[in-house]
Chain A
Amino acid sequence: NAGVTQTPKFQVLKTGQSMTLQCAQDMNHNSMYWYRQDPGMGLRLIYYSASEGTTDKGEVPNGYNVSRLNKREFSLRLESAAPSQTSVYFCASNEGTLNYGYTFGSGTRLTVV
């Protein structure tokens, strides 16, 4: 029962570096999401994928790209990291309807210096 697995758990980047955050779920869920959590801001949606092969922007997509590699995997890429992207990133999935809640990963704590 792994649920949603995120890697890495921690990362420090220098400004301008790139990296990809990985997310995989083993629940056969259709929809996957990337959120960022900043102190006092709650969670804000970056990108989501309603089904395999589709991706859409959320509230704060600038500076990010995503790839829905297959039904299990949804990656988030920072092409040129900026200090403003210092945050905790959460991946989540659900079966794609409003009938059930999300299952969240344990998060990636990213610091950009």
Chain B
Amino acid sequence: SQQGEEDPQALSIQEGENATMNCSYKTSINNLQWYRQNSGRGLVHLILIRSNEREKHSGRLRVTLDTSKKSSSLLITASRAADTASYFCASDRGSTLGRLYFGRGTQLTVWP
């Protein structure tokens, strides 16, 4: 079963707008990660947030984590057409073995 469930499945916005994607998970975690996948390419690591952190920033990316609700959100500010991609959250399900379990992803389309 999928550990992470992203919401929405698809999101379409105009350049300059903000994009928010959500992720829910079912078990306790040590950390949660977000990845981007451009069409036909491999996944690229964006950001990692630990279970004792509530918010993290990286450039135009802002990730929040609410362990009480078992949810995380990824905010991309001032979106660009180049941000068009699929975005996945991944959690470790509390394991220390380094394995990650991925959700089904959100397909983000940013129109010029």
Question: Within residues 80 to 112 of chain B, which ones have a CB less than 8 A from any CB in chain A?
Answer: 88, 92, 96-105
CA distance A4 to B44 in the complex (A): 12
Query: A42-B2, A98-B92, A101-B35 known; A106 and B41 CB under 8 Å?
Result: yes
Q: Does B64 contact A (CB under 8 A)?
A: no
B30 cross-chain contacts in A, Cβ below 8 A: 98
CB-contact partner of B98 in A50, A105, A107, under 8 A: A50
Q: For residue A43, which residue of chain B has the nearest CB?
A: B102
B104 cross-chain contacts in A, Cβ below 8 A: 40-42
Question: Within residues 28 to 43 of chain B, which ones have a CB less than 8 A from any CB in chain A?
Answer: 30-31, 33, 35, 40-43
The tally of residues in A whose CB lies under 8 Å from a CB in B reads 29
Q: For residue B1, which residue of chain A has the nearest CB?
A: A59
Q: Assess whether B2 is in contact with A97, with CB atoms less than 8 Å apart.
A: no
CA distance A58 to B44 in the complex (A): 21
Q: Assess whether B96 is in contact with A90, with CB atoms less than 8 Å apart.
A: no
Q: Does A45 contact B (CB under 8 A)?
A: yes
Q: Assess whether A94 is in contact with B101, with CB atoms less than 8 Å apart.
A: no
B35 cross-chain contacts in A, Cβ below 8 A: 101-102
CA distance A94 to B33 in the complex (A): 13
A residues lining the B interface (CB < 8 Å): 4, 31, 33, 35, 40-45, 48, 50, 58-59, 90, 92, 94, 96-107
- In the complex, the 4 A-B pairs of residues with the closest C-beta atoms, listed nearest first: A101-B45, A104-B42, A43-B102, A42-B104
The 22 listed contacts between A and B (C-beta, < 8 Å) are A4-B42, A31-B98, A33-B99, A40-B104, A42-B4, A42-B105, A43-B102, A45-B99, A45-B101, A50-B98, A90-B43, A98-B92, A99-B48, A101-B33, A101-B35, A101-B45, A102-B33, A102-B43, A104-B43, A105-B42, A106-B41, A107-B40
